[in-house]
A and B are shown apart, each in its own frame.
Chain A
Amino acid sequence: MTTENKDTQWPLWEVFLQVKSGRPYGHVGSVHAADAEQALQNARDVYTRRQEGTAIWVVPADAITASTPEDMGPFFDPANDKVYRHPTFYKIPKGVNVDVH
């Protein structure tokens, strides 16, 4: 990236917001900014005008690698025939409680 950037288009940053402390971060949209500091400030102004979040991550959009929809089947395949990974697969004899409360 150089200063020769055309006038209106700074790099794109994806914005992730934590809505409440203790909660996971979720994607909310994107902003353009010259650097990370400005990206954070822009994200605050655009996505948290009403205290929608307690913390923000900004990530350069081109740093994100995503699975593709074409992958959908084969990529997630390894997980779809392993029912024994779920607790409901197991039969527990009557009269015993194994759930932790």
Chain B
Amino acid sequence: MEDLKRLEEFQAKIDAGEKIEPKDWMPDAYRKNLIRMMSQHAHSEIVGMLPEGNWIQRAPSLRRKLIATAKVQDEAGHGLYLYSAAETLGASREELLEALHNGKAKYSSIFNYPTLTWADMGAVGWLVDGAAMVNQVSLIGTSYGPYSRAMVRICREEAFHNRQGYEIIAELCNGTEEQKEMAQDALNRWWWPSIMMFGPSDADSPHSEQALKWGIKAEGNDSLRQKFITMTVPQAHARGLTIPDPDLKYNEETKQWEFGEVDWDEFFNVIKGNGIMNRKRLKDRNAAHDNGKWVRDAAAAYALKKKTKVA
């Protein structure tokens, strides 16, 4: 009975647009749902460093190398803001990382696609960071305070990621025939996976309804996806690029770009672990962690030595 009253108060608070803070009472399912969502989000930022980190050594100029390094550093920071937010709900950093490393936890499927050419670095910034940004701007409105504040920080930094990507694509489109083809090829490969980043249609998404009711998510998958498509199509056309969707057409009435059927079988297949890069990403992430062990050990030993000296 007590819980029912608390649940009502909790819902009323959310409906009034107030934020829930770490020590506030919350239903267990709200806590669990948020830890799952924030940690998946954090893992995505961390794994997202890999496809781009892969290009830092091969960036075509010093300017591009500095930009790529700064972007990858930002993604590390984004992961840390989000782990920090998840920890406010009682999750431990160790558990969260362990779940990522043993393959139990999920991260965004988009990072299980390979970055084959330099144009992919453009497409990732333009499309992947672009889609992430649409999602993250909406998540500023989440009902959980620490998550919302992490989103404010992240969104401030994402604008540069998106722009540098579009700049790479624009440069290639201004270049030789071959370079323009590279840009088109990258768009062909990244378009549909980027659209899938918003997740299945709300009608088929098991967590969507409850997540919306509790304000964990502020907007549904379908409307965010539509927002991204309508925003991005003109950006492609402005560079003379073709969106790889024969059913794409502009609806004069709704002012929206309507799009064709999404291949959800591919999406679920990649989530299941059968994407091109699933195994490699997990292996690389584990290697990065294991190779850093001596640094963690050294820092712990140094801290202990200083402590015993003082005492």
Contact = CB atoms under 8 A, between A and B. Distances in A.
Contacts of A54: none
A50 B293 CA distance: 28
Contact of B23 (A6, A8, A68): A68
B303 A49 contact: no
B29 interface: no
A52 B299 CA distance: 26
A49 B73 contact: yes
Contacts of B157: 49-50
A12 B24 CA distance: 21
A99 interface: no
A69 B94 contact: no
A11 to B, nearest CB: 9
Contacts of B303: 34-35, 38
Interface stretch (B80-88, B133-141, B189-197, B248-256): B80-88
Tell me which of A3, A29, A31 has the highest count of chain B C-beta atoms within 10 A of its own C-beta: A29
Contacts of A28: 153
B296 A7 contact: yes
Closest 10 CB pairs of A and B: A35-B303, A34-B303, A9-B94, A34-B299, A29-B84, A30-B84, A69-B24, A8-B94, A34-B300, A46-B80
Contacts of A6: 94
- Secondary structure type dominating chain A contacts: loop
A68 B93 CA distance: 24
A33 B303 CA distance: 9
B138 to A, nearest CB: 21
A38 B306 CA distance: 12
A72 B25 CA distance: 12
A66 B220 CA distance: 35
B84 A31 contact: yes
Nearest to A67: B23
